[in-house]
Amino acid sequence: MARSFYGVELENALMLGTAQYPSPAILAEAFETSGAAVATVSLRREGGADGSGQDFWRLIQDLKVRVLPNTAGCHTVKEAVTTAQMAREVFETNWIKLEVIGHEDTLQPDVFALVVAAEELTKLGFNVFPYCTEDLTVANRLVNAGCEVLMPWGSPIGSGLGLNNEYGLRTLRAHFPDIPLVVDAGLGVPSHACKAMEMGFDAVLLNTAVAKAGDPVATAAAFALAIEAGRLANEADPMEPRDMAAPSTPVIGKAFL
């Protein structure tokens, strides 16, 4: 069942970034093949006096998907809020993926500034998608700040390490059953995305795993299939793991020799 993101239902639970692809044509084909419903775009991609930014924007428009601008590279509340306001003018949407980076090596979000920025942007009428950690206290603060979606990281951006803290992510899912949750960052292979969906998450967002793969188009398609498999598995109410073996073939009526 599709989850509503600020009143918008997404048929496909895959959100794709638009940076680092080998070519615009491969980017477009990756979106078409995977059926990704959302494209995340950094405002900085629109720069350049030669008009290359406008060419990129036309490419994104041709994808005919929902655009989610982000505040990538921002380190302060002021910078993030200003970038979001410019993004709203350029992309004509209230959606904003809010990133406020606090640590250069891990690109871990500055959760203190993140909450403040989320409060300010919500008051300005934005639909905020905060890139956060799996910390329950931080998540509560973001929800109280007006965020109707949470985007916890799986692991550091671009690392490909997958779901580093499954316990934390499961706890977050259980604590916020009615909040759309998107695993954002760190997924490296389709099985990581499948696991996130099996755990009950509503979508995954990734960029590097597809854009930097040997075959981005095939990788995007593989992620889409993995996400659907994980979603179906979650809805099918899978069996719980157990410590002891249990025969799958009945022994009642078996002949004793």
H or E segment and range at residue 116: helix 111-123
Beta strands in 133-180 (DSSP E): 151-152
Q: Judge contact between 16 and 38, C-beta under 8 A.
A: yes
d(CA 14, CA 126): 22
DSSP 47-111: --TTSHHHHHHHHHHHHTSEEEEE-TT--SHHHHHHHHHHHHHHH--SEEEE--B--TTT--B-H
d(CA 226, CA 12): 12
- Chain centre distance of CA 33: 18
78 belongs to the catalytic site: no
- 97, 195, 212, 254: the catalytic one is 97
Q: Judge contact between 139 and 176, C-beta under 8 A.
A: yes
Q: Would residue 102 be called left, alpha or beta, if left means φ above 0 and alpha means ψ between -120 and 50 degrees?
A: alpha
d(CA 243, CA 252): 23
Q: Which residues belong to the active site?
A: 97
